[in-house]
Chains A and B, each alone.
Chain A
């Protein structure tokens, strides 16, 4: 991102399946500075962001708010990202919420484990903030376009 550049809110929202409702994002990241970095970037793009600092708090907030996208750090206190994904997938109301995993891991097996558990996208630290914003819009678009099952319809 060039110095002084701003991410257009309209662009981010338009990329989200052409819908004009602000996308809701839950961030689960135990490094407070990175959570702030992500929050500022996503809010400047027009997203409504809730930030949490551990897996248990993230899962509670996800169940409470049913966001469009969840950004999950892989390693977190209390409950790791993989377990949060597993619980989201076994809960009808959260099973189709788009998930982006954030990690400093570089081991291929970890990446494959993430894909296998139903993660929509994988971003490795250090991440490009513009790419994160774009990625959130794209996975939300895919999620919103997906057919809704009868079980999920109660959302």
Chain B
């Protein structure tokens, strides 16, 4: 689990892998012709909404809006999980826990970690998809 705003129980989020390939494999399978056309389209769709999600998280954190913080973190976590972005998903889960308890002070740093982890994952996924596509079948 990620860090808490008040500094309690703050193990490194790097304990969790950035990306897990298992979810990416089923995305690769969406394109039976061996291209990555559909998966690239879907990831572009995910990417297109990220700016708005990040802005919503930042605003909710600054304004101390626990409901909005929890709702957006939850929505983002679902997408991250489905696309194998497990570290970002774990940060989102931590944000949700804080929001559920009404704790928003100090969440700004965690919002930054979510943003960085998602951004880094989105940048790395195309190469991972390519590697999975080119890997010999087991």
Q: How many residues of A contact B (CB 8 A)?
A: 26
CA distance A6 to B32 in the complex (A): 7
Per-position contact with B for A49-64: 1 when CB-CB < 8 Å, else 0? 0000000000000000
Q: Classify the interface of chain A: helix, strand, loop or mixed.
A: loop
Interface residue ranges of A40-82 to B (CB < 8 Å): 40-41, 73, 75
A126 touches B81 (CB 8 A): yes
Count of CB-CB pairs between chains A and B under 8 Å: 74
Q: Complex formed: what's the CA distance from A129 to B29 in Å?
A: 10
Q: 1/0 per residue B56-95: CB within 8 Å of A?
A: 0000000000000001001101110111100000000000
| Residue numbers in B under 8 Å from A75 (CB-CB) | 71, 74-75
Bound together, the chains give a CA A45 to CA B137 distance in angstroms of 24
Q: Is there a chain A Cβ closer than 8 Å to B132's Cβ?
A: yes
Chain B: residues with Cβ within 8 Å of the partner, total of 30
Which of chain B's residues have a CB closer than 8 A to the CB of A32? 45-46, 48-49
Residues in B whose Cβ lies below 8 Å from that of A128: 26
| Interface of A toward B, CB cutoff 8 Å | 1-6, 30-34, 36-37, 40-41, 73, 75, 103-105, 125-130
Given A33-B42, A36-B45, A125-B81: 17 more A-B contacts, CB < 8 Å: A1-B29, A3-B132, A5-B29, A30-B75, A31-B46, A31-B49, A31-B78, A32-B46, A33-B49, A33-B79, A34-B79, A36-B41, A37-B42, A40-B30, A104-B77, A126-B84, A130-B26
